[in-house]
Structure formats: structure tokens, C-alpha cells
Structure 1
Amino acid sequence: MAGRRALKAVLIDLSGTLHIEDTAVPGAQDALNRLRQASVAVKFVTNTTKESKRNLLERLQRLNFDLQEKDIFTSLSAARCLLEQKQLRPLLLVEDNALEDFTGIDTSEPNAVVIGLAPDQFNYQTLNRAFRWGNSRFTS
């Protein structure tokens, strides 16, 4: 039987684990404090695409969670990393509230599409633009 390894890190989902919208999950702050006292590295992940990392962090801090921006990894963070690695210029179909996570990314003459939870962006004009771009890529 293999020996037991010490726990070195914990990834914690944010929505539904630490908070639900603007309400802290009961006991979440205490559980987080206990993990930190155990000298376990704690990082936070979320697949939310409706708001920027900064907005999410501010919400969590208002709910009395002691977090830093560098400890949070979002699906928008992952999208940005991929865009940078592949040197892509995206058409961003995300809420205005999430755009700041793409500050500095070239969006001229898009050669990729990033889609988030953005009901306001799902209209004929933006979807037509995305489909025209996609269609030109696959027919050229």
C-alpha cells in the first residue's frame, strides 16, 4: 500500500461553494480559514464569464472573504491565456462587465471568437459578424 501524501493544495470553486450571487455560503469563511491554518495552498476557480475577475474579487471581499486577485483563475483568464499563446485577435461576445479581462488584447480583424454568458451580445448583428468570420475561415 502506498504511503499517504500530505495535501499540498486545494482548488475551490467560487459560485455555490463560497458564495451564491451576493450572499456568502454559511460557514464558508470559517472553512477557508481552517484550510489556511493547515498550511495548504488555496486557489480559487470559476467558470463564470459574466463578470471580470476584479468585479468578482470585489464582491467576495464585500462578503468578508480574504482573497487576492492572483489566487483566482476564471474561464476568462483561461481564454485570455489561450489568445495570448496563439496570438489570436478575438471577437469578444462577453458582457461589457467582463471586457476588462481582455484589456490590451488586439481585437482588430478578429481571427477567433470568445463567447461568454452575454445575452446582450446575442443579437443579429454580433452573431452575423461571428458567423461571417467563421464561414470565411472554413471556405478559404
Structure 2
Amino acid sequence: LYGQGVRSGAPLTRLAFERGLSPLGDWGGYIVILSVLLFAISTSISWSYYGDRCAYYLFGERAIFPYKVVFVIMNFTGAVTALTTIWTIGDIALGIVIVPNLIAVLMLTDKIKAITDDYVERKPWLAMHRDEER
């Protein structure tokens, strides 16, 4: 808490904007603060909805409330925990989510190939190009 810390992430970006836009005063820092705030809010809303729908489709209606509780706890934890720790937790969580997705992709390989072959055979991009020329 005391002394000069290593600047990274948003603080580093804020410092760069303040120095780069120094003729405008402190406005560079405020631009970064507002941008990070809006990005954080929109990301939180989007992931809340995305996770809510995933919980519903995977486990049914009963899974939505526990998901929301975990989501709120993780949002709070993310606000008070070191950035490197949060990135580590995020990497682990995404690694866990990748496993069932890879299994599903492997199980659906034949179907994906058939759909892709059908699409390539029809060549819809050529039809769109011909329509644009007219």
C-alpha cells in the first residue's frame, strides 16, 4: 500500500492518456476512467445474461438463482482482489468450460462437416456478389 507500485492495466493506460493529452489538462485520465466504467458495466450485464441462459439450458430453472448468487459473489471478489489473481481464476474457469465444448465439437464433427460441405457446395457468397453487381 505504501510506495510506488508497478503500473499496469487501467492505471498505466490512464497515465499514458494523461501524458499524451496533457495539453487538455487531466481530461485524458477521465476519458480512461469513463471508458473502463462503461466497459465494466456492459461486460458485467452481458456475462450475467449469458451465464443465466447457460445455467437455464444446462440445468433448468432451479439453477438460475444459485448462478446469480455466485455471479454477485464473483463480481465483488473481482473488485477487491489483485488483478493477477482474477486473471488466474478467469483462465481456470475458461479452461473448465472448454472441456465440455471440445467434447461436443468432437461428437458433432460429422454433422459439422456435412453442413459445411453443403454450404460450400451452394456457394451463397457468389450469389450475393452477383446480386450486388446488378
TM-score over 0.5 (shorter chain): no
Which is helix-richer, 1 or 2? 2
* TM-score using structure 2 length: 0.30
